[in-house]
């Protein structure tokens, strides 16, 4: 029986809080940055059949052999036709079941989760004890938001791991916490905790997944279950399981229970004034939004050999979030000089330069982002700058080359290319890019989010809503799909009660998601409840200041007669998210009718 890797790190990585034009995109994990990349004719004929409605087993002639289809599939791979390769390998494996592992691997590498899941399930039928087959099935089901199938296959992996349940969970935990969609990870983790009710690691994974999905209250309950099952004397637990208790304290703070965890952390620091304790206290202060106090603690660590770079990065991010761009630039440059957080530093230096109007400097820094979570946002920003400078063709060529260098990111890059084409007025090219991409990657949600956004911007509201309806039918339990469809309904004053129900259903999975709370405020406003919407949008903007949320916040303030406050929010949001079109349109609309405030 194969094994899977059993070592992993425990980390919840905040991603860049950039929303803007990506209103419907699942690309960005929306949290505050602190709370923190054969024969040509035959191939073409198969490609023509490999549409999103194709079956997983293309028709085979009576005399076709597995070797023949294997050859065709391998040539398709060299021709960068991933779906053709995946579907053809399925045909080869149908003729020769020993090829199901290869068919699964090709489908997985080709970003074809539907094909991967089908192939993996066939592989499991052949080899029920194969750990690799169950892992492939779990990963594909997770990508498709099929929670039950994913959880059942992860359950098999954990139950059959040679090292035992507790040793199996770190690897599963890392895979879930690095998932593109944090909400499917959270729902899978909930099922795993129910499957393994005596496991500390199961509840720990559930807690971290709940935190990442923006549900600190659920995280508190899961952390409590984990702590209650720790072995050994309870008095020794905080010392032996320090990271677990620190995460528990952060969950409490994020849920609003601030004073007691902060007092306990301060008392711990007085007893143990070592740099690590101080750093943990600083993190807790950041979670509590006690930014001045956090700054004081982190500045005391700036020269520490171990914690200095981490403290300096957090200080730089804090300066950036608070609009202290000169100070933030100095700190990021210090990180670069020390060789620390190089990609992060170049990314934020690029954002600072862009916001201060230095396009060439921004391009230089963004071009240096080559690894990690900021690669795709950096490429997107650079392409937008180039387009704004009249170099749209160069921007598209840059992204196309990036697709060849990073094929695992292909659907997301193509979605960006399509948005940029539409932004430049070439909607037909945008549709052509997405049409071809959806033939190659029919299960990818980002492509459909991009399509809906472009259709909506082009005034094709009915088509946009239909696109999101299809996505929601594909992923009925995905809160991002619920939110996107509900928000668009609200934006166009259509089926507002249904829109509110969808958004509220999404928030039950992700109660602290700022973008979803903004959507709830917006539908309430559209239904005539501006006063009820105001505190919700205000809290969303405080957690995620951005152009979209700022536009909504300002409009609601304006319609409640608070014109000066609205103008102030719009000014702040424009500084944070320059070029945001929703914000620009909103301001222009109200500037045209300041006396009536008519929307």
Render each residue's pLDDT in the chain as its tens digit; 599 residues.
443 443 332 222 333 333 333 333 333 334 454 543 333 333 344 334 444 344 444 444 433 456 666 777 677 667 777 888 888 888 888 888 998 999 999 999 889 999 999 999 999 999 999 999 999 999 999 999 999 999 999 999 999 999 999 999 999 999 999 888 899 999 999 999 999 999 999 999 999 999 999 899 999 999 999 999 998 887 777 878 888 999 999 999 999 999 999 999 999 999 999 999 999 999 999 999 999 999 999 999 989 999 999 999 999 999 998 889 999 999 999 999 999 999 999 999 999 999 888 999 999 999 999 888 899 999 999 998 998 888 888 888 888 888 887 888 899 999 999 999 998 899 999 999 999 999 999 999 999 999 999 999 999 999 999 999 999 999 999 999 999 999 999 999 999 999 999 999 999 998 989 999 999 999 999 999 999 999 999 999 998 999 999 999 999 999 999 999 999 999 999 988 888 889 999 999 998 765 544 44
Two tokens, residue 231: 């072995």
Let me know how many helices (H) and strands (E) the chain has, helices first.
33, 0
- What pTM was estimated for this model as a whole? 0.83
For tokens 């294997």, name the residue: 70
Asked if residues 248 and 220 have their Cβ atoms less than 8 Å apart, the reply is yes
Asked if residues 156 and 134 have their Cβ atoms less than 8 Å apart, the reply is yes
- Residue 66's pLDDT is 63
- Residue 576's pLDDT is 85
Ranges of H-type helices in 424-545: 427-440, 445-457, 461-474, 479-491, 496-509, 514-526, 530-543
Asked if residues 434 and 454 have their Cβ atoms less than 8 Å apart, the reply is yes
For tokens 């300066």, name the residue: 319
Two tokens, residue 336: 């670069």
Q: Which one, of 28, 8, 5, 7, lies nearest residue 18 by Cα?
A: 28
Dist. CA 63–CA 127, nearest whole Å: 27
Name the burial class of residue 233, with classes exposed (0-12), middle (13-18) and buried (19+) by CB atoms within 10 angstroms of its CB.
exposed
Q: Which one, of 34, 13, 542, 15, lies nearest residue 318 by Cα?
A: 34
- Residue 373's pLDDT is 87
Q: Which letter does DSSP use for residue 511 in this model? A: T
Residue 206 CB coordination number (10 Å): 29
Dist. CA 328–CA 317, nearest whole Å: 7
Residue 434 CB coordination number (10 Å): 25
Residue 593 neighbours by CB under 8 Å, 6+ apart: none
Q: Count of alpha carbons within 13 Å of 138, Cβ hemisphere only?
A: 24
Query: Could you tell me the end-to-end alpha-carbon distance of the chain, in angstroms, rounded to an integer?
Result: 64
Mapping DSSP onto H, E and C, the string for 358-411 reads: CHHHHHHHHHCCCCCCCHHHHHHHHHHHHHHCCCHHHHHHHHHHHHHHCHHHHH
Using alpha carbons only, give the angle 534, 539, 541 rounded to the nearest 5 degrees. 95
Two tokens, residue 543: 């957690």
Q: Which one, of 407, 352, 399, lies nearest residue 380 by Cα?
A: 399
Two tokens, residue 174: 């890392």
């Amino acid at each position: 029986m194969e094994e899977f890797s059993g070592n992993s790190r425990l980390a919840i990585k905040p991603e860049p809080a950039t929303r803007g034009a990506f209103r419907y995109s699942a690309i960005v994990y929306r949290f505050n940055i602190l709370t923190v990349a054969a024969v040509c004719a035959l191939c073409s004929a198969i490609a023509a059949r490999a549409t999103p409605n194709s079956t997983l087993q293309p028709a085979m002639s009576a005399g076709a052999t597995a070797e023949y289809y294997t050859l065709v599939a391998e040539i398709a791979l060299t021709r960068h036709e991933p779906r053709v390769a995946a579907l053809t390998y399925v045909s080869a494996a149908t003729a020769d079941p020993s090829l199901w592992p290869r068919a699964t691997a090709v489908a997985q590498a080709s970003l074809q989760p539907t094909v991967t899941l089908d192939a993996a399930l066939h592989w499991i039928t052949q080899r029920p004890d194969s750990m690799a087959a169950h892992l492939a099935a779990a990963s594909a089901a997770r990508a498709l938001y099929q929670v039950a199938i994913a959880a059942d296959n992860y359950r098999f992996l954990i139950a059959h791991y040679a090292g035992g349940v507790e040793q199996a969970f770190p690897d599963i935990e890392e895979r879930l916490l690095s998932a593109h969609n944090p909400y499917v990870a959270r729902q899978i983790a909930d099922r795993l905790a129910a499957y393994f009710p005596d496991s500390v690691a199961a509840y720990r994974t559930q807690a971290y997944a709940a935190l990442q999905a923006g549900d600190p209250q659920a995280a508190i309950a899961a952390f409590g279950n984990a702590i209650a099952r720790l072995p050994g004397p309870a008095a020794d637990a905080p010392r032996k399981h320090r990271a677990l208790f620190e995460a528990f304290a952060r969950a409490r703070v994020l849920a609003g229970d601030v004073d007691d965890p902060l007092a306990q952390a301060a008392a711990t620091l007085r007893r143990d004034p070592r740099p690590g304790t101080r750093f943990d206290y600083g993190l807790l202060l950041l979670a509590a939004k006690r930014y001045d106090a956090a700054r004081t603690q982190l500045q005391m660590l700036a020269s520490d050999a171990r914690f200095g770079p981490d403290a300096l990065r957090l200080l730089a991010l804090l300066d950036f979030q608070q609009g202290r761009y000169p100070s933030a630039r100095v700190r990021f440059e210090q990180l670069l000089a020390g060789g620390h957080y190089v990609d992060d530093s170049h990314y934020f230096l690029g954002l600072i330069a862009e916001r201060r109007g230095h396009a060439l400097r921004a391009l230089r820094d963004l071009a240096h982002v080559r690894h990690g979570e900021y690669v795709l946002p950096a490429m997107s920003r650079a392409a937008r700058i180039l387009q704004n400078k009249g170099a749209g063709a160069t921007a598209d060529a840059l992204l196309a080359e990036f697709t060849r260098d990073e094929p695992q990111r292909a659907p997301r890059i193509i979605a960006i290319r399509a948005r940029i084409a539409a932004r430049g007025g070439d909607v037909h090219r945008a549709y052509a890019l997405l049409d071809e991409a959806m033939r190659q990657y029919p299960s990818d949600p980002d492509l459909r989010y991009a399509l809906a956004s472009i259709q909506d911007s082009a005034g094709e509201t009915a088509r946009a809503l239909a696109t999101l309806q299809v996505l929601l039918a594909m992923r009925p339990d995905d809160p991002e799909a619920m939110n996107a469809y509900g928000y668009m309904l609200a934006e166009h004053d259509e089926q507002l009660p249904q829109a509110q129900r969808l958004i509220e259903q999404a928030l039950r999975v992700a109660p602290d998601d700022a973008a979803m709370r903004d959507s709830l405020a917006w539908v309430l406003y559209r239904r005539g409840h501006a006063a009820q919407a105001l505190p919700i949008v205000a809290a969303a903007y405080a957690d995620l200041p951005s152009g979209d949320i700022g536009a909504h916040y300002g409009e609601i303030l304006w319609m409640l007669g608070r014109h000066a406050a609205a103008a102030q929010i719009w000014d702040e949001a424009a500084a944070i998210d320059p070029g945001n079109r929703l914000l620009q349109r909103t301001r222009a609309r109200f500037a045209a009718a300041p006396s009536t405030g008519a929307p």
